[in-house]
């Protein structure tokens, strides 16, 4: 039986080495894993060695084999090549329709400057889009107040359920575990100084004022923020947004405003829910690690943590909810009609939301450093 597998044979002549090709260099033969393994590397090594090429013994050469050889030659004809006329015609056709490899961009300060400028302009475009979206939201809220009967209450209710109610189990679990870990670590340090009772002060203030709202916001940004971006992005891919524009349906009033209102309502409630779960975990851990009874914990908490911290946490949570919804809608509306843009927009939405939440929380900490302390 005739051997048709693509193979290479090296023969030595008095003045040079000649690489002779045998077999059928076609798509079906080159697709065999045993044949393909190591073949491109051997071709490139032969090019580096400066060997001559002899293609006259090939049984068949199609576009796939010709493309493989042309790429191995660096998209240029080798100095010494022996081949048949029909093989030259095949290689010339491949060379004609093969785009040349792009030249490497030289590193220069000018290129760095242009790259920095593109990034700055991209940030300016994002900022302008966010301001435009915020302004449209204010107009939509004014329309909601003036014509409440025409508002999409069913959409708001549905988003409130999906954003708030369905997130309660995961936020409670994470909050409870965070409370247990914090209480256990604090007990190890406070016990060294005989300050066991101060765990209520530290744990209560840190959870109610900071960790509860921030933890809930990060979880919602990763869970619901990504879902909002993906929903609107899929509407772009399936051309539903174009259909809404043709029908004269306002995207801001039907897409952005219901999600923002639902997020603004759900975030304070989830913040309180997460904080309660974290306090419960901290209370149980303090009882097990330090012997502080839950009755003492509940009695001492209102005395050590002022109610102003709770109001500050609720205000922060509302701001977090509005920002997460706006960022998610902003990136969702910027998705292009392809799946790659959808994935990139969802990732950017989550990363940006979490970053903005932490920055805004730091801003709140600076502005309201004298409240509740």
pLDDT digit string (tens) for 285-296? 888 877 778 888
**153 in Cβ contact with 253 (< 8 Å):** no
Within-domain flag for 115: no
Same domain for 295 and 348? yes
Query: Both tokens of residue 136?
Result: 């449209």
**What is the reported pLDDT for 1?**
47
Pick from 62-71, 194-203, 284-293, 329-338: least confident = 194-203
Residue 206 and residue 352 share a domain:
yes
| Sign (positive or negative) of CA dihedral 335, 338, 341, 346 | positive
Name the 3-class secondary structure at 204: helix
CB atoms within 10 A of CB 168: 15
Residue 25 backbone dihedrals phi, psi, to 5 degrees: -90, 75
Q: What is the pLDDT of residues 80-135, one digit of tens each?
A: 888 888 888 888 888 887 766 666 666 678 778 888 888 889 888 888 888 898 89
pLDDT at 23 (0 to 100): 81
Q: What is the pLDDT of residue 352?
A: 92
Q: Do residues 128 and 229 both lie within one domain?
A: yes
Q: CA 124, CA 128: separation in Å to the nearest integer?
A: 6
Angle at which helices 212-220 and 339-367 pack, to 10 degrees? 170
- What is the tally of structural domains in the chain? 2
Q: Are residues 85 and 188 in the same domain?
A: no
- Arithmetic mean of pLDDT over the chain: 85
Contact 59, 24 (CB under 8 A): yes
- Please indicate, yes or no, if residue 101 is contained in any of the structural domains: no
231, 254 Cβ separation under 8 angstroms: no
How many residues are given for the chain? 373
Q: Do residue 239 and residue 318 come from a single domain?
A: yes
pLDDT at 3 over 70: no
Looking at residue 320, its pLDDT comes to: 94
Q: Give 237: exposed, middle or buried? Use CB within 10 Å, 0-12, 13-18, 19+.
A: middle
Give the domain CATH number at 46: 3.30.750.24
Q: Nearest Cα to 225, choosing from 217, 213, 234?
A: 217
The pLDDT value given to residue 189: 78
Q: Which domain holds residue 254?
A: 122-367
Tell whether 113 is covered by a domain.
no
pLDDT in the model for residue 60 = 84
Same domain, 268 and 126: yes
The pTM assigned to this predicted structure is 0.69
pLDDT tens digits, residue range 227-277? Answer: 999 999 888 888 888 888 888 888 888 889 999 999 999 999 999 999 999
């Amino acid at each position: 039986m005739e051997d048709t597998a693509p193979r290479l044979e090296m023969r030595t002549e008095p003045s040079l080495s000649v690489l002779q090709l045998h077999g059928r260099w076609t798509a079906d033969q080159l697709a065999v894993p045993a044949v393909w393994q190591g073949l491109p590397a051997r071709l490139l090594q032969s090019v580096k060695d400066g060997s001559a090429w002899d293609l006259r013994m090939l049984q068949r050469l199609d576009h796939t084999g010709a493309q493989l050889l042309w790429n191995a030659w660096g998209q240029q004809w080798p100095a010494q090549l022996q081949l048949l006329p029909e093989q030259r015609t095949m290689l010339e056709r491949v060379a004609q329709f093969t785009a040349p490899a792009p030249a490497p961009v030289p590193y220069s300060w000018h290129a760095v400057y242009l790259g920095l400028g593109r990034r700055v302009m991209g940030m300016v475009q994002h900022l302008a889009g966010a301001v435009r979206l915020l302004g449209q939201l204010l107009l939509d809220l004014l329309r909601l107040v003036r014509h409440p009967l025409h508002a999409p209450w069913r959409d708001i209710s549905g988003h409130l359920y999906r954003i708030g109610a369905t997130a309660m189990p995961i936020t409670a679990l994470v909050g409870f575990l965070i409370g247990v870990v914090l209480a256990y670590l604090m007990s190890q340090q406070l016990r060294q100084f005989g300050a066991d009772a101060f765990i209520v002060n530290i744990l209560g203030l840190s959870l109610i004022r900071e960790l509860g709202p921030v933890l809930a916001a990060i979880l919602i940004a990763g869970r619901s923020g990504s879902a909002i971006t993906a929903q609107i992005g899929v509407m772009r891919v399936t051309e539903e947004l174009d259909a809404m524009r043709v029908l004269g349906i306002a995207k801001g009033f039907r897409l952005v405003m219901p999600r923002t209102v639902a997020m603004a309502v759900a975030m304070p409630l989830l913040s309180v829910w997460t904080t309660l779960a974290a306090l419960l975990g901290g209370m149980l851990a303090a009882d097990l690690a330090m012997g502080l009874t839950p009755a003492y914990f509940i009695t001492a908490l209102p005395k050590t943590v002022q109610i102003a911290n709770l109001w500050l946490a609720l205000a922060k949570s509302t701001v977090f909810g509005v920002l997460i919804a706006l960022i998610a809608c902003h990136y969702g509306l910027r998705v292009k009609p392809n799946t790659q843009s959808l994935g990139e927009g969802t990732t950017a939405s989550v990363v940006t939301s979490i970053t903005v939440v932490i920055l805004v929380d730091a801003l709140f900490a600076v502005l309201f450093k004298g409240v509740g302390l």
